[in-house]
């Protein structure tokens, strides 16, 4: 099987999309920052189920990293990523440079309220402005019919949905379930930073969240349950817990028992920050 077409300019991207459009093909997009793992490949497979052509962007977006975060050490492995996209059957890889995405004099920022408030924003204030800005640019550059985002980055998924609703962006947002290893650990590019001992600890995160979500669904007090979950994670070996929080599934407003809920968490193992989330079943 031949590999995907590789383009690194907006002009070349639009030319290829235009060619597909002229033959009536539906286009699905999977935005990524590279370092592709099985979770990303599951998004590609979902995209291929929903459209005749799959476009994957690979761009480590500096706008969503704070000065203290891991932009420079974020894993970059383009050759391996392209091999994985070839195996998965993706049709096009868009691999722009920072200068292509943010040329000299770039001065515009997209800011989304609503579901971006709290949780990640409490610890990474510029993160969702960076996400919203780059996603808006990618959608305007590629004009896909649909785009696939994973539930692992659940708050991001909600923010992108809000972005498309508010700005009338004609892109259908498709969510795909979190891919996990055999121990329940959510696939993440940052898992590559973890030692074997740290991986053993990391695999306890989802178990604690699932137990806490079940307790909440059974009527347990939210404050007591999330506090107990925080304590359990620290005892399990996590260095720090940024949050364990119950939220409404769509708006990410404070959770109400008569609404679909989501339990979200962010934790630290050494210098690596991990996030995860689970559904809170309705009672």
Binding residues for ATP: 33-40, 150-153, 179, 187-190
- Binding site membership: which residues? 33-40, 64, 150-153, 156, 179, 187-190
- Binding site membership for beta-alanine: which residues? 64
Question: Mapped to the 3 state alphabet, what secondary structure does 118-162 carry?
Answer: CCHHHHCCCHHHHHHHHHHHHHHHHCCCEEEEEHHHHHHHHHHHH
DSSP state of 37: -
Q: Which residue has the tokens 């107990």?
A: 228
- Binding site membership for (R)-pantoate: which residues? 64, 156
Selected catalytic residue, list 13, 32, 40, 222: 40
For 154, list phi and psi in degrees, rounded to 5.
Answer: -70, -40
183 is known as an active-site residue: no
What does the block give as tokens for 118? 């709290």
d(CA 123, CA 161): 22
**Could you tell me if residue 118 is left (phi over 0), alpha (psi between -120 and 50 degrees) or otherwise beta?**
left
Q: Which residue has the tokens 């007090």?
A: 221
Greatest alpha-carbon span in the chain: 58
Beta bridge partners of 56: 30, 93
d(CA 74, CA 189): 8
d(CA 57, CA 51): 16
Catalytic residue IDs: 40
């Amino acid at each position: 099987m031949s590999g995907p077409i590789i383009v690194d300019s907006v002009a070349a991207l639009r030319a290829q999309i235009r060619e597909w459009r002229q033959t009536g093909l539906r286009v699905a997009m999977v935005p990524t920052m590279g370092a592709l793992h099985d979770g990303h490949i599951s998004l590609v497979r979902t995209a291929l189920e929903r459209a005749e052509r799959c476009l994957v962007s690979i761009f480590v977006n500096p706008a969503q990293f704070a000065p203290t975060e891991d932009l420079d050490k974020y894993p970059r492995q383009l050759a391996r990523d392209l091999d994985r996209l070839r195996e998965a059957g993706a049709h096009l890889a868009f691999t722009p440079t920072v200068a292509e995405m943010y040329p000299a004099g770039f001065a515009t920022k997209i800011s989304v309220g609503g579901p971006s408030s709290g949780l990640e924003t409490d610890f990474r204030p510029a993160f969702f402005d960076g996400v919203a800005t780059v996603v808006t640019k990618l959608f305007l550059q590629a004009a896909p019919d649909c785009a696939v985002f994973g539930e692992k980055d659940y708050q991001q998924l909600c923010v992108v949905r809000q972005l498309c609703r508010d700005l009338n962006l004609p892109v259908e947002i498709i969510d795909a379930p979190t891919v996990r290893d055999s121990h329940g650990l959510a696939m993440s590019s940052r898992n590559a930073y973890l030692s074997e001992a740290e991986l053993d600890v990391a695999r306890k995160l989802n178990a604690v969240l699932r137990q806490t979500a079940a307790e909440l669904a059974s009527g347990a007090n939210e404050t007591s349950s999330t506090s107990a979950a925080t304590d359990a994670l620290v005892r399990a070996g996590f260095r720090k817990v940024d949050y364990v929080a119950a939220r409404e599934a769509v708006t990410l407003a404070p959770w109400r028992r008569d609404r679909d809920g989501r339990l979200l968490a962010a934790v630290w193992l050494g210098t690596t920050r991990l996030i995860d989330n689970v559904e809170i079943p309705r009672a």
